[in-house]
């Protein structure tokens, strides 16, 4: 699917619905508005148009149709491929690739996408551990870091797309060694949801509940 087709206005919304569902978040209009940083009336109008064009259904949460899911997978795949390319080929800092990929995902053609797959030797995930649609990757079961008890240690599998929107948070995670593959050990929990964790034996760092709920560790 080329980026010039009539579905262009829907791409960002389809991707948001896909990503919310991917993280197990109920796909309601209020959550889409928060995810995209737009007004609820804007979401309501766009959702109505997407329903009319057969891209989503209301059941009562929003659900992509087969056509809507195909569109979403194209957008998400190109975004995550772009993150890999920017990081591994161009050497862009890890914390900056998400914002740049937001631009690239809209202009990558079918031919360029095919070339990126080949240049990157068929990657399975983006640099933040999120699966690339169409890569054939079956991720392990995951759970939020916030659910671990003190003393538990599990490898970091994925960083939420929601955290990727915040360059300051991503810089903090990078400096603290909290990258996919690192073994995270919870050393302390507080009543407000704050965790103290270590990554591969590095000095412990504190994570508030918002961050801890959006870092996902592999359970097997």
d(CA 27, CA 38): 15
Residue 27 lies in a domain: yes
Mean predicted confidence (pLDDT) in 53-70: 93
Domain count across the chain: 2
Q: What is the pLDDT of residues 139-163, one digit of tens each?
A: 889 999 999 999 999 999 999 988 9
Beta strands in 65-178 (DSSP E): 142-144, 153-159
Of 45, 68, 91, the residue that ends a domain is 68
Q: At 3, which helix (H) or strand (E)? A: none
Residue 169 lies in a domain: yes
> Could you list the residue range(s) of the whole structural domain that residue 153 is in?
142-218
Q: Which is it for the CA torsion 142, 160, 144, 69, positive or negative?
A: negative
Percent of the chain predicted with pLDDT > 90: 78
Q: What is the average pLDDT value for the chain, to the nearest integer?
A: 91
CATH code at position 55: 1.10.10.10
d(CA 116, CA 39): 35
d(CA 167, CA 160): 13
**Model pLDDT, residue 201:** 84
Residue 25 lies in a domain: yes
CATH code at position 176: 2.30.30.90
Quote the pTM value.
0.87
Mean predicted confidence (pLDDT) in 55-63: 91
160-178 exposure pattern, b = at least 16 Cβ within 10 A, e = fewer: bbbbbeeeebbebbeebbb
Q: What is the pLDDT of residues 83-126, one digit of tens each?
A: 999 999 999 998 889 999 999 998 899 999 999 999 999 999 99
**Model pLDDT, residue 165:** 85
d(CA 167, CA 81): 19
Residue 35 lies in a domain: yes
Q: Is the pLDDT of residue 8 over 80?
A: no
C-alpha Rg value of the chain to the nearest Å:
18
């Amino acid at each position: 699917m080329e980026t010039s087709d009539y579905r262009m206005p829907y791409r960002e919304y389809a991707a948001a619905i896909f990503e919310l569902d991917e993280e197990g978040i109920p796909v309601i209009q209020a959550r889409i508005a928060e995810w995209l940083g737009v007004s609820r009336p804007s979401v309501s109008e766009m959702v109505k148009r997407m329903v009319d064009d057969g891209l989503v259904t209301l059941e009562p949460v929003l659900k992509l149709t087969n056509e809507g899911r195909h569109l979403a997978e194209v957008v998400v795949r190109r975004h995550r491929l772009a993150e890999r390319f920017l990081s591994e080929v161009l050497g862009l800092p890890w914390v900056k690739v998400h914002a740049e990929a937001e631009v690239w995902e809209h202009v990558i053609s079918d031919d360029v996408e095919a070339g990126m797959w080949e240049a990157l030797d068929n990657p399975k995930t983006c640099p933040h551990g999120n699966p690339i649609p169409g890569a054939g990757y079956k991720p392990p079961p995951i759970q939020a870091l916030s659910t671990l008890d003190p003393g538990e240690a599990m490898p970091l599998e994925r960083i939420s797309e929601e955290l990727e929107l915040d360059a300051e948070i991503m810089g903090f995670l990078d400096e603290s060694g909290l990258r996919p593959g690192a073994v995270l050990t919870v050393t302390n929990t507080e009543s407000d949801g704050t965790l103290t964790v270590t990554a591969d034996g590095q000095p412990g760092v504190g994570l508030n509940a918002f961050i801890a709920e959006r870092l996902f560790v592999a359970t097997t």
